[in-house]
Amino acid sequence: MSNAPAQDTLAQDFVAFAVESKVLRFGEFKTKAGRLSPYFFNAGLFDDGAKLGRLAEFYARRLIASGLQFDMLFGPAYKGITLAAAVSIELARLGHNKPFAYNRKEAKDHGEGGTLVGAPVQGRVLIIDDVISAGTSVRESIEMIKSAGATPCGVTIALDRQEKATANGQDAAESAVQQVQGQYGLPVVAIATLADLMGFLDVQSDAALVAARPAVLAYRQRYGV
């Protein structure tokens, strides 16, 4: 229990950084599930060296604090490619040098060929992505890792939206993260969650952030798990 305050601080700092960087925005956004969400998280907007480096630091610190044991990182195309590279650099800087690999969307038919690029995929492999929306990317990654003869050992993401997944237009009882955990028995390590986002909004005095809070709370009450 002694590390809980540090964990909370890390999450709060991350949410503040995401808002500052305009990666986390408030308004009205349509999700892949067709819901109107009062917030939108777009990790593609960590789009310069300083922001990407800071993002990598949050991932690395969360992973080290989690105690999760892994031998290498795997980044599913496309967002996962940049994340795997950046986080491996930061882990090495912190004394945890890990190889990384990623996949191509289309198999290469010349040179070394195949769909996997980077270090040989072996041992305990940690999948890195920005969020888990439908779990499709995770499922595909698990298949590629197993096909290479390695063992998927977990998933790390930036934000856990903690909302019900959808199937055939119906709300599921569990979130996509919970489904991944249940179906594959894999731990999911998130830098921050929707609960952390609510905690951040609870203590803000900025008018725009104060105004955003009721809509986020209502969304959580309707779709949250």
- Please state, in angstroms and rounded to a whole number, the distance separating the CA atoms of residues 29 and 200: 20
Query: Whole-angstrom Cα distance, residue 7 to residue 11?
Result: 6
Q: Which of 32, 110, 146, 164 is catalytic?
A: 110
96 is catalytic: no
Active-site residue flag, 51: no
Q: Give the length of the chain.
A: 225
Query: CA–CA separation, 176 vs 26, rounded Å?
Result: 22
Burial of 185-221, coded b for 16+ CB within 10 Å and e otherwise, reads: ebebbbbbbbebbbebbeeeeeeeeeebbebbeebbe
DSSP annotation of 213: H
Among the listed residues 22, 30, 108, 146, the single catalytic one is 108
Active centre residues (catalytic) = 108, 110
